[in-house]
Chains A and B, each alone.
Chain A
Amino acid sequence: MNAKKADKIATGTLYAIAGVIVLILFSLLAFILVRGVPHISWNFLTNRSQTFKTGGGIGPQLFNSFYLLILTMLFSVPISLGAGIYLSEYAKKNWVTDLVRTAIEVLSSLPSIVVGLFGFLIFVIQMGWGFSIISGALALTLFNLPLLTRTVEDSLRAIPATQREAGLALGLSRWETVTKIVVPAALPGILTGVILAAGRVFGEAAALIYTAGQSAPALNFADWNPMHIASPLNPFRPAETLAVHIWKINGEGIMPDAAAVSAGASAVLIITVLLFNLLARYLGRVIYKKSTSA
């Protein structure tokens, strides 16, 4: 076999591999959407789930997923913003910074089930909060912090040094330069990162099964007092999310229409994550246009 033939064969193989990967994604998406979308209806999205009967919905689970997502972001965005600012603006090159970076790397490579078990140990048992939204949100915060911190740091670092020099030359302190000039300039990048992280958090289940719990008690959507036990806003109630729901009904095998419900729920999950991705791209572009007059 001469070199030219080998080159042709290799090129063909590489095209085939690329084709196979594209095919895998499309068949995955097609499978979920074809199976799941016909099952999605207003009733499915708003009704309570059933355990032993067919026709259950995913209403509380859907609400729980979004509520948990908002709380998680409320906790993790400020912390990772601060941490990212420290790493990109203040950190010196010494062993402390090395230690910090190692710690973040370790946290980001921990399996999410381990983070979930840690949350179970600390929030559910030690703090006595039980299986609750607050435990779940805090566990997800830990899971979310390293990635978000890195995104913030990268976005801040991408801002040219001249911007900082200009701010300092105007007599601003470093902190003012960062908060008034660098962070606004880096906002598109940060926002994109936050939305992508939201997609990840929305689909996460392993960290939640032992923190937010696997049961979705009835919610009274007329009662918005966070102190009441049936109120959707109560952070101390157990809250099964959409992803956990899919996992649980497939494992238990007692729901007669589990396959249909999981297909519908998976479709909702994937569509939401896709929307997050599209939103991230769109917002990033819009903000960039607005803030740079490009």
Chain B
Amino acid sequence: MQSSIEERLTKKSKKAKLETFGKSLSFICIAFIVLVVISILYFVASKGIATFTQNGVSIGSFLGGTDWNPSGKGADGQPLVGALPMITGSFLVTFLSAIVATPFAIGAAVFMTEISPKMGKKILQPVIELLVGIPSVVYGFIGLTVVVPAVRNVFGGSGFGILAGTFVLFVMILPTVTSMTIDALNTVPRHYREASLALGATRWQTVYKVVLRSAIPGILTAVVFGMARAFGEALAVQMVIGNAALMPGNLVSPASTLTSILTMGMGNTVMGSLQNNVLWSLALILLVMSLVFNIMTRLIGKKGAMK
């Protein structure tokens, strides 16, 4: 009798067991996600480094070379794996689309938070949400049937190129940047605006000199976030950029980005060959850049946290 009471008091209760079970179950889920991230980083990095370790390509000629023809060899007997055309292409479309999208995003965000919150909520908010929902291949298809011919008519040439890519990416990142900018403007305390208006400033002066300035870190984060999206976008860009692995001489001749060469090439190469490894190196650049964008948003957030 006594021993059974002792047992009941000292042993784990049913509830405590259930609790341990539940906690471990949810921990396993989270551990799984962390494991996935670590293995993505590890596998992509190890495949991407193989170009340099197994095939003996120098990092300099990979990052700085302008000739891309992995199945051919240059005059010096080295494989032609210069990735600079793609790297340039990727950065160009990213920066250009961000430069075009930022004023629009800020304008829309100011409109929604300062000028006409009612109309903003009723019309602009759902519009932006719908724009986010449109799949990227649809953007690519519209780019192919509308933007490319339009560029061709205005500037001549084939129409494929950086400019068409910029247009498509501009529409794609606009909703992301806008909604994040709105969040940034909403965190500016109300009394900032009241103080400025009380000093006799007009609404625009208040927006320009007070609200936007104190929201700069948030707006920067939004822009960097949009750039990260633009940099990693694959199919929509691939459909309109022309996919010629040449240094972009102007904005309307066919060019290429890291993602476009990756999507085109991966299916046509044999695993483990140089042609394949060098594609993984491109993927590694994408991965590293996405980490860089991530760190940038963190730094901005830390430096500009509103006091």
Q: Do A205 and B205 touch (CB < 8 A)?
A: no
Q: Is B192's beta carbon under 8 Å from chain A?
A: no
Interface of B, helix, strand, loop or mixed by DSSP: helix
* Stretch of A96-104, A185-193, A220-228 lying at the B interface: A96-104
Instruction: Report the nearest A residue to B20, measured CB to CB.
Output: A175
Kindly name the residue among B37, B130, B239, B280 whose own CB sees the greatest number of chain A CB atoms within 10 A: B37
CA distance A121 to B141 in the complex (A): 28
Q: Do B22 and A179 touch (CB < 8 A)?
A: yes
Choose one: A117, A176, A214, A243; the contact of B135 (CB below 8 Å). A243
Q: Is B208's beta carbon under 8 Å from chain A?
A: yes
Choose one: A85, A142, A247; the contact of B26 (CB below 8 Å). A85
Query: What's the A-B contact tally at a CB cutoff of 8 Å?
Result: 252
Q: Is A279's beta carbon under 8 Å from chain B?
A: no
Q: Is B195's beta carbon under 8 Å from chain A?
A: no
- Count B-side interface residues using an 8 Å CB cutoff: 87
Q: Is B40's beta carbon under 8 Å from chain A?
A: yes
Tell me the minimal C-beta distance from B283 to chain A in angstroms. Answer: 5
Q: Is B152's beta carbon under 8 Å from chain A?
A: no
CA distance A202 to B38 in the complex (A): 26
By a CB distance below 8 angstroms, the chain A residues around B299 are: none
Tell me the minimal C-beta distance from A71 to chain B in angstroms. Answer: 17
Q: Is A218's beta carbon under 8 Å from chain B?
A: no
Q: Do A3 and B205 touch (CB < 8 A)?
A: yes
Q: Is A158's beta carbon under 8 Å from chain B?
A: no
By a CB distance below 8 angstroms, the chain B residues around A205 are: 135-137, 235
Q: Do A114 and B232 touch (CB < 8 A)?
A: yes
Q: Do B16 and A10 touch (CB < 8 A)?
A: no
Instruction: Report the nearest B residue to A13, measured CB to CB.
Output: B107
Residues of chain B from 251 to 305 with CB closer than 8 A to chain A in the complex: 259, 262-263, 266-267, 271, 280, 283, 286-287, 290-291, 293-294
Given the interface contacts A82-B26, A110-B232, does A206 sit within 8 Å of B136 by beta carbon? Answer: yes
- Chain B interface (Cβ within 8 Å of chain A)? 15-16, 18-19, 21-23, 25-30, 32-34, 36-41, 43-44, 47, 103-104, 107-108, 110-112, 115-116, 119-120, 123-124, 127-131, 133-138, 140-142, 144-146, 171, 174, 178, 201-205, 207-208, 228, 231-235, 238-239, 259, 262-263, 266-267, 271, 280, 283, 286-287, 290-291, 293-294
CA distance A32 to B142 in the complex (A): 8
- Chain A interface (Cβ within 8 Å of chain B)? 3-4, 6-7, 10-11, 13-15, 17-18, 20-22, 24-25, 28-29, 31-32, 78-83, 85-87, 89-90, 99-100, 103-107, 109-115, 117-118, 120-122, 125, 142, 145-146, 149, 172-176, 178-179, 196, 199-200, 202-206, 209-210, 214, 243-244, 246-247, 250-251, 259, 262-263, 266, 269-270, 273-274, 276-277
Choose one: B27, B116, B127, B141; the contact of A266 (CB below 8 Å). B141
Kindly name the residue among A4, A31, A106, A259 whose own CB sees the greatest number of chain B CB atoms within 10 A: A106
CA distance A150 to B39 in the complex (A): 21
Tell me the minimal C-beta distance from B100 to chain A in angstroms. Answer: 12
Choose one: A11, A104, A125; the contact of B33 (CB below 8 Å). A104
Given the interface contacts A7-B203, A203-B134, A205-B137, does A22 sit within 8 Å of B124 by beta carbon? Answer: yes
Q: Do A266 and B138 touch (CB < 8 A)?
A: yes
By a CB distance below 8 angstroms, the chain B residues around A273 are: 133-135
Given contacts A86-B29, A117-B280, 8 further A-B contacts (CB under 8 A): A11-B115, A18-B111, A25-B130, A110-B232, A203-B133, A203-B134, A206-B136, A247-B137
CA distance A269 to B135 in the complex (A): 8
Instruction: Report the nearest B residue to A120, measured CB to CB.
Output: B266
